[in-house]
Amino acid sequence: MTKFLRFSSLTKKFIMAFAGAFLMVFLVVHLGINLFILPVTENHKEIFREAAHFMGTNPLVKIMEIVLFGGFIIHIIFGVILQIQNWMARPIRYKKEGWSHTSFFSKFMIHTGVVIGIFLVIHMMNFYFVKLGITSPPEGAARVADDHDFYSMAFNLFTNKTYSIIYIILLIILGFHLNHAFESAFQSLGLDHSKYTPYIKAVGDLYSILIPFGFILIPLYFLIYY
C-alpha cells in the first residue's frame, strides 16, 4: 500500500482508468454470454452451458481470470486511495461552490463503488467460489449437476424474487457508476479532446444504460415468467 501511495495523482488516475477500461470491456463479453440464459434461441441453454464451461476450463481464460481479478483489485485500491487523498486535501467541505462544479454521478463514485464491491463479492460467492468448491451452489427448484452448471445456479437465484429485485437495484447503481467512469477513463488516459469529447460522453451515456439494462433483462424475465 505504501508503494501505491508514492505514485503521483496522475499516475494513480491513469492506472485506475486503464484497469476500469479493461473491466468495461469484460462487462460486454460477460453480458454477451449471460444473455443466452434467456430464450433467445431454441438451444440457448446448451449454448450458455457450453460457453460457461469453456470460460471455466480453458487455460487461456484462466490466465485472463487472474488479469481480471488484478484489474478489480487495482481499480478498487487506487479508487479508494484517490478518494481519501481528495478528502484529506479538502478537509472542509465546500457548501455550494465545489458541489456545483462536478457532475451528479461523479459526486457519488466512491459510494456506488462500495456498493458494487459488495455486489461483486456476493456474485462471486454464488458462482465463482462454487466452481472453486469454497461455497455451495444456490438452492432452488433446479438441480445443479456440477460446479460448472451455471444455468441451474442462475435459475435458482433469479427465481428468488428477493434476490432478483436486489440484483436489479444494484445494476441500476452500476449504471450510475459507469456513466461517469466511461468519460472519466478517457480523460485520465489522455484521450479526451474538445472535438470528440461530446461523442465520448454520448457513447458513455449509451453504454451506462445498455449494459445494466442487458443484465436486468435476465432477472426481469424470471420475475415475469416464474
What is the pLDDT, as a whole number, of residue 183? 85
What is the pLDDT, as a whole number, of residue 24? 92
What is the pLDDT, as a whole number, of residue 5? 52
* pLDDT per position as a tens digit, 27-52: 999 999 999 999 999 999 999 999 98
213 has a pLDDT exceeding 90: yes
Higher pLDDT, 184 or 174: 174
What is the pLDDT, as a whole number, of residue 64? 82
* pLDDT per position as a tens digit, 64-95: 878 888 888 888 887 888 778 777 776 555 44
Torsion, Cα of 85, 88, 92, 96 (10° steps): 0
CA 37 vs CA 67, 122, 139, 195: distances in Å: 26, 19, 18, 40
Maximal C-alpha separation, the chain? 60
Torsion, Cα of 6, 9, 11, 13 (10° steps): 130
pTM of the model: 0.84
What is the pLDDT, as a whole number, of residue 215? 97
Provide, rounded to the nearest whole percent, the portion of the chain with pLDDT above 90: 42
Q: State how far the Cα of 172 lies from the Cα of 174, in Å rounded to an integer.
A: 5
| Residue 223: band (very low, low, confident or very high) from pLDDT cuts 50, 70, 90 | very high
Higher pLDDT, 164 or 109: 164
CB 7 within 8 Å of CB 16: no
CA dihedral for 3, 85, 186, 190, sign (positive or negative) = negative
Domains and CATH numbers, the chain: 2-225 (1.20.1300)
Of the spans 14-28, 93-107, 188-202, 209-223, which averages the highest pLDDT?
209-223
Round the average pLDDT of the chain to a whole number and report it. Answer: 85
Q: Please count the other Cβ atoms lying within 10 Å of the Cβ belonging to residue 170.
A: 21
**84-93, 99-108, 172-181, 198-207: the lowest-pLDDT one:** 99-108
